[in-house]
């Protein structure tokens, strides 16, 4: 079954036997916002067609944000776009974005651990989280280490929501963040990258 067949958060929680909780687990980790980046994003949002499809949302709104933060961490992580993630017949498909360890063999190798899954949905966040949580569970199983936290983002380009999977417990951050507060949004995304960096160190220690 493809990830897209998980149509709601409640259905995914029940199907995969995950415990659902809510908590303010995301903190802001300050990130510098360059004037060029801000002006370019504002121009695209003002003059471009940015939200007529999930592809447009990804290309124009989500990827630029992720890329801007990822560049700081590119020596440790690779940011994959629409890469096949296959755990089994039930959990398989193409998440919009996956943050994974940068392989020592080079950027062309899709290497675990997989630490951050990003899903785009035009407006249906319930479906988005149902799909994203299924992807997070698949990543956790592929990592073969349930003690490592997996992070998730669901966004329609404007509003961004955050989640975390630890063991069989999924925590949904109850307060969405908005792209019009660009400084705050980048700080939130940067926090997830920082936490992914910590999780990578823990994974490597376990694997050693």
Q: pLDDT digits over 51-100, tens only? A: 999 999 999 999 999 999 999 999 999 999 999 999 998 899 999 999 99
pLDDT of residue 36: 96
Q: Which two tokens stand for residue 28?
A: 């802001």
Tens digits of residue pLDDT in 89-148? 889 999 999 999 999 999 999 999 999 999 999 999 999 999 999 999 999 999 998 889
Tens digits of residue pLDDT in 171-197? 999 999 999 999 999 999 999 999 999
Confidence of residue 207 (pLDDT cuts 50, 70, 90): confident
Statement: the pTM of the whole predicted model exceeds 0.95: yes
- Domain of residue 20 covers 3-207
Mean pLDDT of the chain: 96
- As beta bridge partners, residue 116 has 99, 151
Q: How many domains does the chain have?
A: 1
* CATH code of the domain in which 144 resides: 3.90.1570
Three-class secondary structure assignment of the chain: CEHHHCCCHHHHHHHHCCEEEECCCCCCCCCCCCHHHHHHHHHHHHHCCCCCCHHHHHHHHHHHHHHHHHHHHCCCEEEEECCCEECCCCCEECCCEEEEEECCCCCCCEEEEEEEEEEECCCCHHHHHHHHHHHHHHHHHHHCCCCCCEEEEEECCCEEEEEEEECCEEEECCCCEECCCHHHHHHHHHHHHHHHHHHHHHHHHHHC
Nearest-10 Cα torsion for 159, 164, 169, 171: -40
């Amino acid at each position: 079954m493809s990830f897209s067949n998980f149509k709601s958060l409640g259905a995914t929680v029940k199907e995969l036997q995950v415990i659902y909780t809510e908590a303010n687990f995301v903190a802001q980790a300050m990130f510098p916002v360059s004037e060029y980046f801000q002006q370019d994003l504002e121009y695209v949002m003002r003059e471009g067609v940015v939200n007529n499809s999930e592809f447009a949302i990804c290309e124009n709104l989500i990827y630029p944000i992720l890329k801007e933060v990822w560049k700081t961490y590119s020596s440790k992580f690779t940011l994959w776009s629409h890469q096949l993630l296959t755990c089994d017949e039930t959990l398989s498909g193409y998440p919009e974005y996956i943050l994974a360890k940068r392989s020592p063999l080079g950027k062309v190798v899709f290497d675990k651990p997989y630490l951050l899954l990003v899903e785009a949905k035009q407006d249906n966040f319930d479906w988005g989280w149902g799909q994203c949580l299924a992807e997070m569970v698949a990543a956790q199983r592929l990592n073969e280490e349930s003690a490592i936290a997996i992070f998730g983002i669901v966004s329609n380009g404007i509003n961004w929501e955050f989640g975390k999977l630890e063991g069989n417990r999924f925590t949904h951050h109850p307060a969405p963040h908005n792209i019009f507060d660009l400084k705050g949004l980048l700080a939130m995304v940067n926090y997830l990258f920082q936490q992914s960096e910590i999780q990578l160190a823990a994974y490597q220690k376990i694997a050693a």
